[in-house]
Structure formats: C-alpha cells, structure tokens
Structure 1
Amino acid sequence: MVRPTMEDVALRAGVSRALVSLVMRGSPKVSEMRRTAVLKAAEELGYSPHAMARSLASRTSTVLGVMVSDLHNAFFAEVVDGIDEVAREQGFDIIINTGGRSPARERRALESLLSFRPAGLILLSPVVPATAIGKAAEQLPIVLVARSSRVSTVDTVNDDGEQGARLAVDHLVSLGHKRIAHLDGGEGTQAGPRRRGYVTAMEAHGLAPQVVSSEYTDAAGARAIRSLIADGSLPTAILSCNDFNAVGAISALEDAGLRVPADVSVVGYDNTSLAALRHVSLTTIDQPRAEFGRLAALALLQRVRDERTDPVRHLLNPSLVVRNTTAPPGGLR
C-alpha cells in the first residue's frame, strides 16, 4: 500500500501543497474553512505528516531524542515517563534508542539520534566518552541524567549519591550491623559518588569498608554474592549499587540457602517499581525518577527555545524507603 503524500491531500482538498504544509504546522495564517477542508482530506486519506521530513522542510523540530543506558532497568522507563509527560504537554514527540551500557554502541546510538535532527537530546546515564557528548553539544542542546558534566552547554540532573549511600549505611548501622559490604557500580555513571558516600559513612561509624566490584545488573549482583560466599567474607548486610543489582544479590543468597533479611540484610538504590513489588519489598534509596525526567525535559526545552544559556545543575536529595529486606543481624534478635 502506497503511503499518501502531502500532494495527495492538496489534490483531495482542492488547495495548494503549500497551504497543506501551513495547516500541518498549525499556522494561524489559514482560514478555518480551508483548514477544515485540509484536515478532512487528510483523515480520509489516512495521511499523517512525517516528523523528520517536516523538521527538514521547516528547519525546526518537534522531536526530542532520548538515549537510554539499559532497557532492562526499570529506572530508565520511569525517567522516560517524566520526559514524555512534559514533551506531550509542550507539543513535542520523543524518539528513543539505547547503547546497551557499551561506550562503542552508545557512540553509534548518539550518531543515529543526531541523524534524525531532533530539537535536542536527553542522555540517560550515558557511558559514552565526554568528548563525544561535547561534540554533539556543539550541534544541539543536550541534557544528561545521572551523569555529571563541566561543559557549559550541557545541563545535568542528578541525585546526591553520596548522601544516598550514607542514608543506607546509617540505617543498617542503626539496626546493629557492623559488617556491611557495598556492591559497587563499577565504571557506571554515579557509581563513584555512591561508593564515596558508603566509605565515608562506614569510616564515620568506625567500621571497615568492604567494597566489592560489581555492575548495575542483576547478574553482576548475583556474581558478587557468590564470590563473597566462596571466599568466606559474606557480611551481615549488603548495600547494592541499584535495585536491579540488589534483586540479583537476593536471588543468589536464596539459592545458597540464606534468608533475607534473617541472615543477610539488603538495601537497593533507585526505588524503582521493581522494589515496591510485594514479593520483593526491597528497602532502598529513593530517587524521584519521574521528576528527573520532567526537569530534564524542561531544561532541554528552555535551551531549544533560547530562553537560557547558563548551565543548569539540578541535584536532588534522595531519601530512605524501609521495606522488608532489612532487619537487625541474627545475633541481635
């Protein structure tokens, strides 16, 4: 089936192609009678304007590009909800792709988004080199979520990862835990602040930090637990780098015949919808995911509309959400 074109709509409505273009762009220069005729013809033909072609023709775009780090992680879906809410309110559409947490793949994904000539880009926890982000920012506005930047043309939205990790450690210490390990996020964005917050909090309580190399995935969380069990260094409590990692850690603990929280307490990070499921009920650190998305979209649109040139650096405060995966260590109950 041949897709109808703007010329087909013009022929059906008995008007020029230029007038159809004005109607599709929402121009006020068209009479109501002709606007109605064009829209009626478009509906009869099943015509809808191609967003990319419309952008090329008008030299403007109503499309925002979004690159997601990991499609398996609910955190990013909830951030996208916030982006989409603002985009729709402001008359913009979004296109989404992913780089799968790989710098090389993310570079290609970034180039792919740029080829659509969007009005701007929002990159969620990207691991692509800063040089690639800076180069892209020379072409269009960019906002980073869950990653910092010193580039003045790039805006950022983050949580205070150090504070969040301290909240988790303080909670576990208040329950009586002294041996608390942190399954860190490796080279992932925001892993550094969370790691620093954990170490600072442990030292403030006079406790020895135990940082275990891991990643922001459930498989990595499970591997880290198996390694701790194998070398006999399993602590009484775990602070995972995110909820996804924590779920993998819990799975590995249960596979080993250990009970959560009776034998080992576990704290996640993000407070995704996964953490709130009744059979998971994960104690975690809350990041306002939808608010991240809303703030990122609003910051981007300010740049798109030339309303601001100074960089925005949003830093949101995390909070502790206590559920069923933390309790006093066995000897204290």
Structure 2
Amino acid sequence: MPRPTIEDVAARAGVSRALVSLVLRGSPKVSAGRRAAVLRAAEELGYSPHLMARSLASRTSHVLGVMVSDLHNPFWAEVVDGLDAGARSAGFELVINTGGRSPARERQALTGLLSFRPAGVALLGPVLPASAFTGASAHTPVVLVSRSSRVSTVDTVNDDGRAGSAMAVDHLVSLGHREIAHIDGGNGSQSAPRRTGYVTAMRRHGLTPRVVRGEYTEAAGAAAVRALLSPAPPTAVLAANDLNAVGAISALEEAGLSVPGDVSVVGYDNTWLAALRHVSLTTIDQPRAEMGRLAAEALVHRVRGERVTPARHLLPPRLVVRATTAAPRAMSGL
C-alpha cells in the first residue's frame, strides 16, 4: 500500500491539512477534540511525519547528521550511543553514514549529509581535509570527535591522547619493561598525539622509542607485529587502539609467543571488545558515551544560538589493567 500522507490524515479526521500540520507540530492553538481526532486518524492510517519534509516545510531541522569514519571500530558505536541519547533528549534525530577511513569517501559522505539540510553535523574520527569541514561550518554547526581544530566555527571533543599513551608507557615501565614498541594509527585521527605521548614518555624514562606505522585495524596490528619480530621482538607493545591490539595478539600467538608471558600488550579505547573475558585487554579508557553526549550538546547549543565561541572538550583518559600485561619473563623468573 502507498505511504499515507498528511492529506490522508486530514481527510480521515475531517479537518484541513493546515490543522493536521499544527497538531503534528504540537501547536497549542488546536482544541482538544480536534487534536484527538487528528491523532486517532494518524494512528489508524499508520502515518508518521517525514522528518526531511517537515524540516523543509518549517525551515527548522530537527535532524543531526553523523559521519562515522570507520563502522568496523566498536569505539564509534559507543560514541554514537552517547550522541543519540544526547540528541533525543533535546528533540533531535540522527542520520548516519560512513566515510570508510578514506578522505575522498568522507568528503562525499559529508556532502550527502549536508543535502539533508541538517541542523548540525558531527564528524567522528574524520580524516578528510580541514578545508572540507571548515567550509561546511559556514552553513551548519559542526563538531569533531577525535579530531582537533583551531577553527572558531568548529567544536571539538577529544581525549588527551598524549596523556593516555604516557600512562601506558609508565604502566609497562613499572612492570620492568624496557623494550616497548608502539604501533601507531598512521593517518588516523588522534594518531599523532598518541605517538607523541609514547615517544615523550619513553625518552623521559631514558628508553629508545620504536614506532611501527600502522592503522586502526586488526590487520594492521598483525602486520606490525610481524615486522617487529625481526631481529627480536620487544617485551611490550602499545597498540594504536583495541582492534589493533587484538590483531597484534593474534600475530604474536601465531609466532609462538604468549601474551603476556613473552610480550605484554596494551590497547587504547577500552571498548566492549577489550572487556571480553577471553580477551581481557589492558587498555586506555576513553569515555565514549560522554564524548558522544558532549558532541550532541555542542551542536544543540550552536543550533539554538546559546553559544558562538568554540567548545574545546579535552577529556582525561585512564588506565584499565587487565590480563595482557605482566612483568617481562626475565624478571618474573619464568
């Protein structure tokens, strides 16, 4: 059957199209009797207002666009949960697409979101050029999650990646590790601060940094470990994120090395994946839901004209110790 329209609702209720529109907008100018008739007709027909059409008609959008760089990373699902909760509490809905960790695809995804004329746009872990989101911010509020910006029209929500990596290094050093390698996130968002935090902490402890280029994926973690095996593996690895760490652990076990017996591994993000009992990954926690909530709040404040100065949220990470880190074998006496 064809989708019921606002005209169908008006005909069923015996009122005008304009009055149905008033009811659906929650206008107080409609009598209780007519409001009940319209709502009853809408329910009987299975009618629900089309958000895009309603936005165009009223010139007031209640839709927030969300571009997720990588749908395969569980970290972003947890950020979206927080963003969705924050948006709904303020009366907004989300429209979500993905950029697949590709600058070109992300640019297309952003263009697609803007075609819906959203009230605002959240970009989660974007790798597209800054000029793209700067241009978009001239037309609609923009917030970046896990990406920095100095543009006054763009809000940002990040964790302190430098501090997080330093926590991981300090933890491993406290266990007795001296040979600690870092698999970085390549061109991924927030890879540079995490790498800087690692290098700075290693030098503070008088240790030599060893960085292997990677990505925020399982495959990249596994490939980086294979590169680290020669001439000799380190005693500990700080991975770019939890997915990266899982790939690293898999490659270490394939090479006949145990975790943490031979090599300790630390992830980053503290996603549900890290907390699985058979993974039990030591990792750096980012407050995912809180980051999403703050992103939604930043957009809503801009949309409602409650703030014009940029929001710069930098949240403190914390170390979560589980079963993938231990003292080096030489020190444990095994």
For the aligned pair, the TM-score class normalised by the smaller chain equals over 0.9
Corresponding position of 2:252: 253
Q: How far does the alpha carbon of each residue in 1:144-187 deviate from its partner, in whole angstroms, 9 at most, with x for none?
A: 00000011010000011000000000000000000000000111
RMSD (Å), alpha carbons: 0.6
Corresponding position of 1:187: 187
Corresponding position of 2:146: 146
C-alpha separation in 2, matches of 1:157 and 1:295? 7
Deviation at 1:90, TM superposition (A): 1.4
C-alpha separation in 1, matches of 2:284 and 2:222? 20
Corresponding position of 1:163: 163
Deviation at 1:13, TM superposition (A): 0.4
Corresponding position of 1:136: 136
| Counterparts of residues 157-306 of structure 1 (less than 5 Å) | 157-229=157-229, 231-306=230-305
Corresponding position of 2:19: 19
Corresponding position of 1:325: 324
Q: How far does the alpha carbon of each residue in 1:4-49 deviate from its partner, in whole angstroms, 9 at most, with x for none?
A: 1000100100110011111111112211111111010001111110
**Equivalent position amino acid for 2:167 in 1:** L
SS in 2 for 1:301: helix
Corresponding position of 1:94: 94
C-alpha separation in 1, matches of 2:128 and 2:31? 49
SS in 2 for 1:48: coil
C-alpha separation in 2, matches of 1:71 and 1:185? 16
C-alpha separation in 1, matches of 2:69 and 2:246? 19
**Equivalent position amino acid for 1:293 in 2:** G
Deviation at 1:221, TM superposition (A): 0.2
Corresponding position of 1:307: 306
SS in 1 for 2:86: helix
Q: How far does the alpha carbon of each residue in 1:200-226 deviate from its partner, in whole angstroms, 9 at most, with x for none?
A: 000000000001111100000000011
Deviation at 1:233, TM superposition (A): 3.5
SS in 2 for 1:263: coil
C-alpha separation in 1, matches of 2:188 and 2:251? 22
Deviation at 1:257, TM superposition (A): 1.1
**Equivalent position amino acid for 1:284 in 2:** T
Corresponding position of 2:103: 103
C-alpha separation in 1, matches of 2:287 and 2:106? 25
C-alpha separation in 2, matches of 1:213 and 1:57? 50
**Equivalent position amino acid for 1:327 in 2:** A
Unmatched 5+ residue regions in structure 2? none
Q: How many residues align?
A: 332
SS in 1 for 2:65: strand
C-alpha separation in 2, matches of 1:26 and 1:117? 22
C-alpha separation in 2, matches of 1:278 and 1:29? 57
SS in 2 for 1:314: strand
**Equivalent position amino acid for 1:33 in 2:** G
Deviation at 1:199, TM superposition (A): 0.4
Q: How far does the alpha carbon of each residue in 1:290-332 deviate from its partner, in whole angstroms, 9 at most, with x for none?
A: 0000011011100000001000100000000000000000000
**Equivalent position amino acid for 2:4 in 1:** P
Deviation at 1:282, TM superposition (A): 0.2
Percent identity, aligned pairs only? 73
C-alpha separation in 1, matches of 2:216 and 2:18? 51
Moved more, 20-29 or 268-277: 20-29
C-alpha separation in 1, matches of 2:318 and 2:43? 49
**Equivalent position amino acid for 1:325 in 2:** T
C-alpha separation in 2, matches of 1:112 and 1:181? 40
C-alpha separation in 2, matches of 1:28 and 1:76? 40
SS in 1 for 2:94: strand
**Equivalent position amino acid for 1:223 in 2:** A
| Counterparts of residues 39-50 of structure 1 (less than 5 Å) | 39-50=39-50
SS in 2 for 1:86: helix
**Equivalent position amino acid for 1:80 in 2:** V
Moved more, 82-91 or 286-295: 82-91
